[in-house]
Amino acid sequence: MKNTHTLDDCKISLISIWDQFILILMMLTILSFTCCESFVEVDPPNSQLISKSVFEEKATANAAMTQIYAKMRDAGLFTGNKTGLSHLFGNYTDELDFYGNPLDATVAFYNNTIVPSDPTIKSLWNSSYNQIYDANAIIEGVTNSVNLSSTDREQLKGEALFTRAFIHFYLTNLFGNIPYVKSTDYQINSVTTKESATTIYKYCIEDLNQAIALLPDDYIASDRTRPNKFAARAFLARVYLYNQQWNEASNEASALLNNTTLYPFENNLSKIFLKESTATIWQFAPGTTGGNTLEAKTFIFTSGPPPISALKTTLVDAFSPGDQRKTKWISSVSNGSSTWYYPSKYKNKTTTISTEYSIVLRLSEMYLIRAEARAQSGDLIGSKEDLNIIRTTAGLSNTSAVSQVEILNAILNERQLEFFTEFGHRFFDLKRFNALDTALSGVKNGWNSHENTLPLPESEISLNKNLYPQNLGY
């Protein structure tokens, strides 16, 4: 984690900084254990250390915020491990075939046999609300801070609001109606009720707009691991798109696309997933010096059959001849009789110096968000212009789509080829295009329409009756 302040800024000794840094790590670890069973079981802090110590110094307050990103990187929905969305939902949809241990948790996703008692479902839910709890603790802590400068308070609160909206957005797209938790109060959280996806989007939009007002234009960390105003606007564009607010989605995407100083367009596909890429809007730093991405460790293999998963041949075959994304972002392994393919967007597991970070938000999505929003609004010419920028970068000719329906289908296809094995984009896109049944019925044995939503964890419903009823079909 990056720290640019000086001793004069902090007015404390190096020993004090280290002691408080260890303190916040210990406290967040304790919170993790406290929250592991259920977010509704999180007790209020039993001391005033969070408000009176951690959030009174810039160093420890920043440590608390970056620790949340570390937790998001290492566990839960956004980890690049096999337990995260990129891998699980690659297997749940039409991106990956599973070759690993038949007792692996991925099997239930691959065979679409998930049940409410599935421990992976419980883990995804609990880790997400644990991270939300931490974000709420930071919001409350910096709001009550006496010694933090107004600039630092605004930065940290903005990041925490962004993070809270980010996680809730994913939860509602996975689980449907969910609670939107804004407090660390045990009594409130223990009886929290579910909200509709429409209401969740409303709260996300409110949090993101507040984050935009608080965050600076520039990144406070040069490696783009700390969200700035434009990261919040990028994610707000996605929320607006999913909420079918086409003009708003287009405007937010344009805010980034027009900022060519901060986000100059990168047309070299080989550079998109490097840590210095100008197309990166927000990314997770590796956990170790010389480490790279967990995605590389999950997806890359050097001999067959694959130890975990490999790309479906139907996905590999979906790329048109000459599509450079297939050449640059997919690699193969052969044993002489069979050939398997894997995502190679990230190419390095461990290097002397880290070369790749896990990219969470990137500029190509802004073009495709605006293309879709424009098409939905009737601006077919503008939509095709944005779509063709992505196609040209991939080495393809302009789209032949003409009508609104054709253009929207072309955008859905382009999103499949652009964002494969990235944080469940394919599942979410098929779901909101009402295309899951069509796409997966012939690919997934026993696919059922109700599987467009995951079951609520059985243990959570038993703890909080306000989470009833269980999702349809489970």
d(CA 280, CA 204): 22
Query: What pLDDT sits at residue 404?
Result: 98
Domain ranges, ordered by start, for the chain? 7-283+360-467, 289-357
Number of Cβ within a 10 Å radius of residue 215: 26
- Reported residue count of the chain is 474
pLDDT band at 186; cut points 50, 70, 90 = confident
Residue 252 clears pLDDT 80, i.e. is over it? yes
Residue 279 clears pLDDT 60, i.e. is over it? yes
**DSSP secondary structure string, 326-362?**
HHHHEEEEE-SS-EEEEE-SS--SB-SS----EEEEE
Q: Could you read off the pLDDT of 345-355 as tens digits, one per residue?
A: 999 998 999 99
- Work out the average pLDDT over 245-264: 98
DSSP label at 398? P
The residue whose two tokens read 């939860």 is 171
Residues 430/90, Cβ–Cβ less than 8 Å: no
| Of residues 160, 165, 187, 144, the one with CA closest to residue 64 | 160
Q: Which helix (H) or strand (E) holds 284?
A: strand 280-284
Residue 210 C-beta-side C-alpha neighbours within 13 Å: 18
At 139, give phi and psi (nearest 5°): -55, -45
Would you call 320 helix, strand, or coil by DSSP? coil
Share of the chain above pLDDT 90, in %: 86
Q: Could you read off the pLDDT of 366-408 as tens digits, one per residue?
A: 999 999 999 999 999 999 999 999 999 999 999 999 999 999 9
| Architecture per CATH, 7-283+360-467 | Alpha Horseshoe (1.25)
pTM of model > 0.85: yes
